[in-house]
Amino acid sequence: MLVLLLASLLLTVPPDTSWKHQRLRTQMVEQQIEARGISDPDVLDAMRSVPRHRFAPNHPPELAYADRPLPIGHEQTISQPYIVARMTELAAPDSTDRALEIGTGSGYQAAVLAEIVDSVYTIEILPELATTATKRLQNLGYDNVVVRNADGFKGWPERAPFDLIIVTAAPETIPPPLIRQLAEGGRMIIPVGPTGRTQRLTLVTKANGEISTRELAPVRFVPFLRNNKN
């Protein structure tokens, strides 16, 4: 009877809470994220919770949790775990926040935000990635995330203002519509710079109606794509 009970329990363990994947996530957070100075408990909890291997389905779990970006098709990548954690911590998310993400990709950054904030609106310009990310997020139960296939340069004015905006591709300059869609007290994290060269991770804040920008670190992101028809 005990053997049958244990076998039943093993069969009911969801694949994303398997001991192997939990161990890989724990190691990822301890060795790649906490060890490099990320300390926000909500961010650390989110990184431990989101099944990163489900957002990099063409790679083995050990590689999905490695300290590196990974290709996800269509010349796009899923950022390395540390960069996702760093950008999330810099955005200072809160449980009541409305967040905008530009560059859904596989949906990983949106899922990390969804673990912390009230709602996430995320825009992906490539229809294939928007479709697969929508299905993936829905299958994983992230019902506070809405994916839109559109040109992220314009933001999402119908849902603005946003308490935080995270941009996961690099424009050469900060898109003015995104600045306008920041709420009072809002924060935007965005890589800025030329394609194929080092960019600067930049924090944009709005306080008393005034916009301030601060360059934080050198980074390398995929280019910010535009819809030439618009």
The four Cα atoms 155, 190, 101, 168 give a dihedral, to 10 degrees, of: 120
Active site residue 79: yes
Q: Which of 49, 79, 106, 119 does the annotation list as catalytic? A: 79
State the SS3 of 71-110: EEECCEEECCHHHHHHHHHHCCCCCCCEEEEECCCCCHHH
Nearest to 226 by CA among 142, 113, 102: 102
The four Cα atoms 59, 64, 66, 71 give a dihedral, to 10 degrees, of: 60
Helices (H), the chain: 2-12, 19-28, 41-49, 61-64, 81-90, 108-114, 127-139, 176-180
Nearest to 121 by CA among 141, 106, 136, 107: 107
Give the integer Cα–Cα distance in Å for 14 and 3: 19
Half-sphere exposure of 152 (CA within 13 A, CB side): 27
* Active site positions, annotated: 79
